[in-house]
Amino acid sequence: MTRRSLTTISTLLRRELWESPVAFMWTPLGIALLILAFVVFSLILGGRFDAEMAYTSDMLKMLAEQPDQQRRLIVSGMLFWISAIFFQLMLLIILFYLAGSLFDDRKDRSILFWKSLPVSDCMTVASKLAAACLLVPALFFLAIVLTHLVLLLIATGYSLVAGVNPWTTIWAPATLPRLWSVMLLGLVVQAVWLLPVYAWLLFCSSWAPRLPLLIAIAIPAGLALTQHAWTLITRFGLPEFNIGLIMLKRLGSGTLPMSANVQFDGGFDSIEFSDELFMSFSTTLGHLAKLETWVGVAIALVLLWGAVWFRRRATDG
């Protein structure tokens, strides 16, 4: 990619940010503020029943006495699952954004203005995809980092009051560099894993006369129901290959691929967690070794080509 292309993409990404400030910037910041407000409110409310912080101090002292691995599991695990709130909402925002990205240009006729600029349709579609795969995850990740730091600072204050070492009890077990690195890697892998879903939404957005998200859902759902009905009629069974279930499976397993290797041995009282829980580089990278990942990428390229083709032939919709 040439320097001119990178400059064009950068400009188009700024356009996407300018056109969707609420979804891209204010939503992750709002989620962070809501989480922090809930934590502060809970602490204030708890303080009314724990005036001398006896219960809170005892909890922190118990945490400080746990083995290193257990402290790491508790602290980093809590931070990771707080991040999961961001990831789930981020995925919803990306899906809605992609479904309307090319459709909105045709709906408000701004496509005529954008087509008058020296920007190719391929570059326009690429910028929409880059916003979903790079821009939105980056902004949500920054909000996650901010939330983590503020929560740890609050925990530090309570640790000092309880008389425990905040570094060994809170900060070191959080393993922030590793946690954040796995999250960043997971966001990249997630983008590759969900690329066919993203491309499908862009494809539908490029030609749908109205309600592109509904059309994007209705087509695979209709095909899935048709497959089920035909198989039940002809073979009295269920189809082994179902496009609707495949898309649902990819969405369901595509929200930040991660490791959660929990082994049950003797019931819930003896649950053993692996050292790589929440922070496994190998498991995250393992998604890139799957054949279905690259089959999905190939399908995505075809769909993106179709989106560019329809974009070139679109007028004022």
State the sign of the Cα–Cα–Cα–Cα dihedral 29, 216, 301, 20: negative
Per-residue confidence (pLDDT) for residue 120, from 0 to 100: 86
Q: How many CA atoms lie within 13 A of 251 on its CB side?
A: 17
Per-residue confidence (pLDDT) for residue 1, from 0 to 100: 58
Per-residue confidence (pLDDT) for residue 307, from 0 to 100: 95
Supply the DSSP string of 198-238, one letter for each residue.
Answer: HHHHHHHHHH-SS-HHHHHHHHHHHHHHHHHHHHHHHHSS-
**C-alpha distances out from residue 24 to 15, 49, 134, Å:** 12, 39, 11
Q: Answer yes or no: are the C-beta atoms of 179 and 153 closer than 8 Å.
A: no
Cα dihedral 217, 220, 222, 225, rounded to 10, equals: -120
Per-residue confidence (pLDDT) for residue 138, from 0 to 100: 95
Alpha carbons 97 and 276: distance in angstroms, whole number? 34
Per-residue confidence (pLDDT) for residue 265, from 0 to 100: 41
Number of domains in the chain: 1
Per-residue confidence (pLDDT) for residue 204, from 0 to 100: 95
Per-residue confidence (pLDDT) for residue 56, from 0 to 100: 77
Alpha carbons 250 and 264: distance in angstroms, whole number? 26
Alpha carbons 88 and 85: distance in angstroms, whole number? 5
Residues of the chain below pLDDT 50: 257-275, 277, 316-317
Per-residue confidence (pLDDT) for residue 270, from 0 to 100: 40
Alpha carbons 210 and 221: distance in angstroms, whole number? 18
Per-residue confidence (pLDDT) for residue 238, from 0 to 100: 56
Per-residue confidence (pLDDT) for residue 140, from 0 to 100: 96
| Parent domain of 57 | 3-313
